[in-house]
Amino acid sequence: MSDETVVALRGITKTYGDLRANDGVDLDLRAGEVHALLGENGAGKTTLMNVLSGAIAPDQGSILIAGEPVTLRSPKHALGLGIGVVHQHSRLVEALTAAENLFVGWNKIPGVFRSRSTVVKRAQELAKQYNLELDMEAEVWQLSVADKQRLEILRTLARGAKVLILDEPTAVLTPTETAGLFDLMREQRDAHESVVFISHKLREVLAIAGRITVIRQGKNVKTLDRSEADVDTIIQLMIGGDVPAVSRKTSTVGETVMEVEGLSVRDDRGEEAVHDVSLTLAAGEIVGLAGVTGNGQRELSETLAGLRSPIAGRIEVGGQDLTGRSCRAFVRAGVGFVPEDRLGTGLAGNETIWRNAIMRRYGADQLTRGPMLKQSASQEMAKELVSQVKLSAEDLNTPVRALSGGHAQRLLTGRELEVGSKVLILAFPTRGLDVSAAAYLRQTILDARARGIAVLFISEELDEILEMSDRLLVIYEGRVNAEFGGDIDRDAVGRAMGGVVDGAAPNRTQA
Amino acid sequence: MPGPAGRYRIGSVAIGVVLSTSFGLLVSGADLGQFFQGLWNSSLGEPAGLENMLTVAAGLLLLGLAAAIPLRIGLWNIGGDGQLFLGAWGAFAMGQLFPDMNSALLIPLMLVAGAICGAIWTIIPALARVYLNVNEIISTLLFNFIAASWVLYWAGSKWGEQASAGSVKSENIPSQTILESIPVGSYLIPIGFVIAVVFSAVVWLFLRGSVFGYEMSIIGSSPKAATYAGMPTKRVMIAVFALGGVAAGIAGVLEMLTNVQRFGPALSNNTGYTGVVVAVLAGGFGPELLVMAIVFAGIAIAGNILTITGAPGELVFAMYGLTLICAAIGQGLRHLKIVNPGPAERDAPAGVAAEGAQ
């Protein structure tokens, strides 16, 4: 490893109105290192990376490349100087082939009319050169998430990036795919290039990073070498204190509350996304449903809340058959649901807090007088909920879109806890939340369990789901392919998430 | 005080009005003094001027409402004209059925019949949109052409004025149903305008405070959230279309009882399409819609004056269009802000130089 600094950020400050997103942040990137950037949501990681990649201009501070101050005019300009970003969400053109995507906005092939085969051939050469081979003739929508990411990395490297910034790249990957990405990061490091790895998965950061920079509230907290770092120190640095401890009270598992049998569901495109899923939820039990995003969790969870009709199967709650019934019937039966898509489905983003707070119960007698909505009673109900979830500082007329992710999720979960007197379906409830907000939420869920509510906890974070669940199911390509109870083997769960089921009778053989 | 978005809207519409009027003046070559004298006389200067302007504004307010209500949940009602004609048709039919009825009964009856017919005219496009996902922009638009043929049939052969030469129009409405104006000071306020304002205010207050209005706002913000909340999304969408049709139908009745006094194509001068523009520019269905309707009535009158001085009749629509373009540009610009360039930008040339030196 070398100590040669390739890029340095000095005193970067960027304010948005009253918010100091970055406040005098320094960062040194050396050649041949994987440098992790850690911080809670809103700590300023994204702003800093946008400054480094030329997407936004800092108010103050300077960027030095090889010791020379530069002003980055645009991401393209930054890439020309060797700094490239791979964003969390794919920025590829879905309808074009992988090869064509490689050359969008990058005219590296002579001639006006280029034959498809030339483009593919050139793309394959580049892929070989960077050891990032994939099917160049496939259209992007046909590629797996991991391949899309490889394509984006290839596109960035091929255009000459010496500093590769990866913004939460593992969020959508299976453990095996993550391992593949790490190999690639190590190759970059060994080739004397730099990688900036943004993540909030501490285990991964510790596995791959050479140095770790922690920022909090827009300021540098510390940069440490891997050798000085462990999980507890890093968390303390990130949140400026200890993590609120989550206490798990013992709970007696009661009788079965929700019973699902042979459920099959179509997705929005009409393809079968959930096949023949059966599960039971008992009072006072948390059943975890692990799986990489996009394996049918959205469709399954929406069906269990009445938002989608199954094409086959049965759903019973407390002995009552709810198959094919509306959301309202599920609410009446006491099924609460925290959907994955919080600001589009769970909450109406443009609407105010109070209007969102009454959303699932607005037709109730105490809120209506004839065709009119009782304003005072609605506001009262909203106020109660808001103080329940400790958002009392907020004005009830604030649009929920203006709330932080953690606060919006508190509001949504709080509301669903009141709706879900029997069952609570939670789809990725802590995704995108920072450490303390996630801890608060986990505690809320554990408290609900202690009150005898049956919980289905859907998550892709292995650590979290292992900590929370009494029983664990794994969903892969729309099927429950493994079930675990008692002492759960972490690696076996990870393999099942990738479709590899060992031992007893897997539901389907691996393609 | 309006927020930044509102200020942009008002500013860009104001610029549009000034630009389009200047453009109109330039094209027509009208005498400036004459133009402004005419404009003054047609608005506040003379009782008859204001009366006429408010009558135009009443139509634009209701047709603005006909577009603005569906727009609140993301649906486009381009069929205001057709609904207007059907409303007038229903009212005229009442006049034919009960020609001697007392006006205190007949006028309300005509309004109700007009409201119902206007609503009925939206049903097919609404059902097609909700159940078959047929684009409502196209279906409501095409229904205008059906309505136009319907008007020609009834105004021409069924109720047609035998003596008339040239334009197609029906016999007169029963004379007791003609809506007069109320004198206020030295001005005359048309009853039709009062009815339009009261109706719009009632609709606005109802949508602000009712369960239905609440459902509309959630559907407008996110249809998926509305389904999740257990709302009858489809029913609300159909009702919203129907409510738009009611507003347009009433506009047709009022125009017939106030101005035209016969049933025929003259009831609308593309008022339905102008209503869509008014709705888009107002960005809501409250008081802002009334303001925008009056502004557009003013533009219509300015255009008419220019037409009198020899400009082509299409000038008014060119002026609407120019105002709309200005507003659209303003809408696009509102995301930008004029800022004092910070030190980073000021140093840009130096930065570029440094980079060149590498």
Rounded to two decimals, the ipTM of the complex is 0.79
Which of B211, B214, B354 minimises the CB distance to A68?
B354
Which of B217, B342, B350 minimises the CB distance to A355?
B217
Q: Do A59 and B217 touch (CB under 8 A)?
A: no
SS3 B230: coil
pLDDT over 90 for what percent of chain B? 57
pLDDT in tens, B252-278: 999 999 988 999 999 998 899 999 999
Structure tokens belonging to residue B17 = 């009005």
Third-level CATH fold of B4-159+187-332: ABC transporter involved in vitamin B12 uptake, BtuC (1.10.3470)
Between CA A473 and CA A286 the distance in angstroms is: 11
- Pairing label, strands B187-190, A163-167: unpaired
Closest listed residue to residue B252, CA positions, set B116, B152, B106, B49: B116
Touching check for A16 and chain B: CB below 8 Å? no
Q: Do A345 and B352 touch (CB under 8 A)?
A: no
Mean per-residue pLDDT, A155-161: 89
Over 90: is that where the pLDDT of B58 sits? Answer: yes
| Band (A508; pLDDT cuts 50, 70, 90) | very low
pLDDT in tens, A284-300: 999 999 998 889 999 99
* SS3 annotation, A442-506: HHHHHHHHHCCCEEEEEECCHHHHHHHCCEEEEEECCEEEEEEECCCCHHHHHHHHCCCCCCCCC
Between CA B213 and CA A333 the distance in angstroms is: 26
Which of A59, A347, A372 minimises the CB distance to B209?
A372
Structure tokens belonging to residue B270 = 């593309």
| Band (A39; pLDDT cuts 50, 70, 90) | confident
User: What is the pLDDT at residue A388?
Assistant: 87
* Mean pLDDT for all residues in chain B: 86
Q: Where are the beta strands (DSSP E) in B165-260?
A: 181-184, 187-190
- Dihedrals φ, ψ of A90, to 5°? -55, 135
- The residues facing A264 across adjacent strands are A312
Mean per-residue pLDDT, A312-338: 94
Maximum distance among all alpha carbons in chain A? 75
Would you tell me the crossing angle of helices A116-129 and A145-158 to the nearest 10 degrees?
90
Q: Please tell me which residue of chain A has the smallest CA distance to B348.
A: A71
| Band (B148; pLDDT cuts 50, 70, 90) | very high
CATH numbers and ranges of domains, chain A: 5-239 (3.40.50.300), 256-351+420-497 (3.40.50.300)
Around Cβ A384, how many Cβ atoms within 10 Å? 13
Which of A57, A305, A371 minimises the CB distance to B345?
A57
User: What is the pLDDT at residue A438?
Assistant: 86
Q: Which residue has the higher pLDDT, A462 or B139?
A: B139
Q: Do A348 and B214 touch (CB under 8 A)?
A: no
Q: Fill in the amino acid letter for B167.
A: S
Across B177-204, b (16+ Cβ under 10 Å) vs e yields bbbebeeeeebbbbbbbbbbbebbeebb
Between CA B211 and CA A363 the distance in angstroms is: 8
Closest listed residue to residue A477, CA positions, set A314, A300, A316: A300
Between CA A419 and CA B154 the distance in angstroms is: 57
Q: Do A348 and B344 touch (CB under 8 A)?
A: no
Among A56, A303, A373, most B C-beta atoms within 10 A, so best to mutate, is A373
Around Cβ B73, how many Cβ atoms within 10 Å? 20
Q: How far is CA B254 from CA A124, A384, B175, in A?
A: 71, 48, 14
Rg for chain B, CA atoms, rounded? 23
pTM exceeding 0.90: no
> Which residue has tokens 């050649």?
A31
Mean per-residue pLDDT, B3-13: 74
Between CA B304 and CA B314 the distance in angstroms is: 10
| Band (A507; pLDDT cuts 50, 70, 90) | very low
Least confident of A172-176, A437-441, B49-53: A172-176
Mean per-residue pLDDT, B148-173: 80
In angstroms, what separates the C-alpha of B3 from chain A's closest C-alpha? 15
A399 DSSP assignment = B
Q: Do B343 and A70 touch (CB under 8 A)?
A: no
Over 60: is that where the pLDDT of B328 sits? Answer: yes
Is-contact A13 A59, C-beta < 8 A? yes
Q: Do A360 and B229 touch (CB under 8 A)?
A: yes
Touching check for A267 and chain B: CB below 8 Å? no
Among A347, A376, A415, most B C-beta atoms within 10 A, so best to mutate, is A347
DSSP per-residue letters across A97-157: BHHHHHHTT---S-SSS--HHHHHHHHHHHHHHTT----TTSBGGGS-HHHHHHHHHHHHH
Q: Do A305 and B358 touch (CB under 8 A)?
A: no
Mean per-residue pLDDT, A62-71: 91
Between CA A113 and CA A360 the distance in angstroms is: 56
User: What is the pLDDT at residue A494?
Assistant: 83
Q: Do B229 and A359 touch (CB under 8 A)?
A: yes
Between CA B154 and CA B139 the distance in angstroms is: 23
- Dihedrals φ, ψ of B120, to 5°? -60, -35
User: What is the pLDDT at residue B244?
Assistant: 97
